[in-house]
Each structure stands twice: as C-alpha cells, then as structure tokens.
Amino acid sequence: MPAGAHWFEPLTMSHLSRRLFLAASAAAAATPALGVSRSSDDVDVVVIGAGAAGIAAARRIAAAKRRVVMVEAADRIGGRCITDTQIFGVPYDRGAHWIHMPDLNPVAKLASGTGLDVYPAPPGQRVRIGRRYARSGEMEDFLSALVRSNRAITEAARGKVDLSCAQALPKDLLDWRRTVEFVLGPFGCGKELSEVSAQDFAKSVERDVDSFCRQGFGALIAKLGAGLPVQLSNPVTRIDWGRNGVEVETTKGHISARTAIVTVSTGVLAAGKIKFNPDFPKRQLDAVGKLTLGSYDHIMLELPDNPLGLQRDDLLYEKTDGTRTGAVLANISGTPLVMVDVAGSFGRELSAQGEAAMVDFALEWLGNLYGADIKKAVKRSHATRWNDEPWTLGAFSSASVGGQGSRRVLTEPVRDRLWFAGEATHETLWGTVGGAWESGERAADAALKQLGRRS
C-alpha cells in the first residue's frame, strides 16, 4: 500500500505517515551553528520555511560556512512535522509519524546522534469485518487485492498516456474494492484514486519497512533544527528576484541575500501568499497547479486500559462498502493514544465541519466496530485540521493525471537565484519527511555550487 506527506506509503504493503514537527521555541534563541550568521541584512542564502526541507537546506549551507537565515511564518520550526506533549501529557505527532525505510532515510540516519529512541514499527496490518477480525483466508484475499492493484497501476504507468489510478484498478476486486480504494487512495495519497496520476503513484518508492520515534517524529526534527538561525512568526510577503541577488520582504522587515531556497508547501504557493517580482514563472506555476495537496488528518483518542484489545502500534482498517471509513493506529508507542486517520474527499468534508464532528465520527465508527461502550472509555480527544492551517493549507502532494513531470519542473532553479524544495519536489519520496529532507539538501547543494561559481 502507499505511504504519505506524507503520512503513508504508496505502492507498498505498509502504512501511511503524514506529516508534522514540534518546533521548540527555544530553537529560535539557540546559539547559531558554527559558520552561521544571524544577521538578516546581508546573507548568502535565505531559506523560506523551517520545515524538514528548510532545516536540511540550512544545515547543509551552515556546514559549508556560508551565511544563512531561515524565515518561518509559524511560531515554531518543523512545518508539517510537530510533536505536541501538552494535550495528552505524552508525545502526540500531529502530522508526520511514520519514519519510512529507516535504512535509507536520511532523517533516520541522523537520529542516532540525537539521543531519541527510534524503534522498528511492527509489520503488517489487521482488518475488521463488522464486529470481528478478518480470518486468515480473508486477509489473503485482501492482501492479494492490494498486490494486484499495485501491479495493475504500475503496468498502466508504463503506457504512453497517463491514466488515473482508478482507471488502472483490476475489475475483479469484488467486495474488497472500496477497502483497496481507501488504502491506496485517501490513506496513501490523501486523495481519491481518480485524482491521482498512475505514473506518479508508480514512481513512488516502496515503503514497506518503517520505524517510529518514541518521543515523536516532530521532536526528532526539532532536535535536528536546534541551533540554526531562524526568524519565527515572520511570514514572507514578497520576493524580488529580478536583479542581482534576492530581496525578501517579511512582516518584520527586509532581508537581502544572494540566493533563496523556497520550501513552503504547494498549497501556500498556489494561494499566492507570497508575491513574486517578476511574477512567478508560468512553468513553475503550472507545475504547482498539478501538485495540489490532499487532505489527511488525525483524530486522536485517549483510551486507557486498551478497550480495543490491540497491540502497541497495531495498524487496522475496516472492510468497508463506502467512503465513510478510516484507519487506526493503536496504543502509540505503548501509550493509551489511539489515532483514527481520515483522508481524501470524505476527510476533507469532515474536517470542514470542525473538530467536534470529527471526534463524533471517530467514536461512532469505532463503536460500530467494537461496541458502543467504546464511547464511554474515551477520556481526552483532539483532531487536526491541516486544510485550515494557514501556512500549510493541506497535507501532502500527489500529482494529477499528466502531472508527474511537474515534480522535476519545481526542482529547476529560476535564474540561478531561486531554488524550490519540499516533499512535492521529490519524484520518488513525495509525501514523506525523508523526501522533503533530501530535496532540501539537493537544493542547498545546487545553491552552494552557484555561489561558488559567483565567487
């Protein structure tokens, strides 16, 4: 099954992570890393956005002894990766939670130096059919349907004309079709399969091995960003890039730089929250329009004494015949927290109704699967609403039909002064924190190379 900005893992039998980070406000006051200047009057590189991509880029530039500053609209670093410890008293990843492919993931490789506990996620998943669990034969049918669907989408992606993933699905999925559509679509991509490019889906690297951070994925990202120079609560309003260098206007002042790396989400770019002078190039603007963000949210419930009877970090789906469904991640890192994930069109509609409606759905849905007494067992609750987060405006990107090449377009520099980074610019790890991190390092390397030529 897929992965996620995200949140999930396309084309794998794995899970979705999606995406967000804790940003210790202390990071803003931390001592600058060696070779880094806090001056915003004249820097080599200004990094716009302090999420995973921005932090990765700033670390790379600082290591090269270049002057760098990050500018972040929110009051924390981390972007779509944030760990909250206030709501439930234990770590709660409000965004990205899954650490995909830890043997290859650059973030996972850096985790060993942070002192945080990263451990393997249990393999596989469970399926609930009404008030019982799927039997072994039923699980074989479900997994076979997933494998055949992934294979069919991959085959369709080899054609000259791109199709939607929905068009590529096998016709004989029978009563597993709706469940497969949820797992591969909303859960894996944040969108319905009819909205997702088969070529983009097929290009996604399998994410069938995962890890978790006991202290929270957001806490890990915040650790990696500590000590970097960052201006928090300082939205960028305008970027002038037509002359020598780059001039950045923010709500708190002006920054002059030789180059800029823009790591904000495609949702923010599409909304025009940052004005460009000259205008944002049409080639890049068209690419942004084909990489819109899907909808993916967590509904977190505190369920003491494990009334669901699930193991630590158990992943569970239901066999569904409709779109009003979700996925469960139970007893997260051994805590009483149970996460119900809602996504895609249904998740977007539910989120628009507000947090209370989201929690009501989760309680009703779990009650149908495990009995009405589950409602009485819940202590505290919380729901994310990423579509309404002003500096994100969604979850993670997935390409529309014909839009897979737009990811490469967004990696192209603009006059060797503007570079773009973020999960949307990664062709195989889109929707993941690891992909965002790699894209930030890639953009930093390109900017440093150009700065070297100018020197």
DSSP string of 75-100?
SSS-TT--EE-SSSSS-EESS---EE
Q: What is the total residue count of the chain?
A: 455
Q: DSSP letter at 289?
A: H
pLDDT of 41 reads 52
SS3 39: coil
Instruction: Give pLDDT < 50 ranges for the chain.
Output: 1-40
106-131: buried (b, 16+ CB within 10 Å) or exposed (e) per residue?
A: bbbebbeebeeebeebeeebbbbeee
Q: What is the pTM of this model?
A: 0.91
Report all structural domains of the chain as residue ranges with CATH numbers, in order of start: 1-123+140-293+400-455 (3.50.50.60)
Cα 51 from Cα 58, distance rounded (Å): 10
* Cis amide bond preceding 278, omega within 30: yes
Q: Which two tokens stand for residue 354?
A: 């507000």
Q: Which helix H or strand E contains 316, and what residues bound it? A: strand 314-318
pLDDT in tens, 84-132: 999 999 999 999 999 999 998 999 999 999 999 999 999 999 999 999 9
Cα 227 from Cα 222, distance rounded (Å): 10
pLDDT of 454 reads 60
pLDDT of 31 reads 34
